[in-house]
Amino acid sequence: MGFYQPFRPWFAKCYIPGVIKEFEKYISEAGDIRKVGVDERKDGLLVLATMAIKLYIEEVKTGMFPKEDYSYPLKETELNILKTSKGWK
């Protein structure tokens, strides 16, 4: 979502830029935005956040996220330690 202060973790991806156009289209087609906001509560950050979360879910399900640029590399020695741990199956 982009709610990180004062630093952004390496693996964090902000999905808001990916849904801005969709959100703008939704708002422009909503008609009386006051009515949509008051009657349906579908006019602001909740809608934007929901769109971003849906995009995140879609990218995870299709394997588009995370890729190397949003992952920490695992060293071979660290992997070998994990493989010998009790929790490794």
Residue-wise pLDDT for 65-82, tens only, equals 999 889 888 899 999 999
Closest CA to 30 of 18, 41, 19: 41
| pLDDT of 61 | 97
Please report the pLDDT score of residue 1 as a whole number. Answer: 75
pLDDT for res 47: 93
Q: Please state, as a whole number, how many other Cβ atoms lie within 10 Å of the Cβ of residue 2.
A: 12
Per-residue confidence (pLDDT) for residue 41, from 0 to 100: 84
Encoded amino acid at 11, one letter: F
pLDDT at 78 (0 to 100) = 93
pTM of the model: 0.75
Both tokens of residue 27?
A: 């708002």
Amino acid at 4: Y
Q: Collect the ranges in the chain with pLDDT lower than 50.
A: none
Domains in the chain: boundaries: 16-83
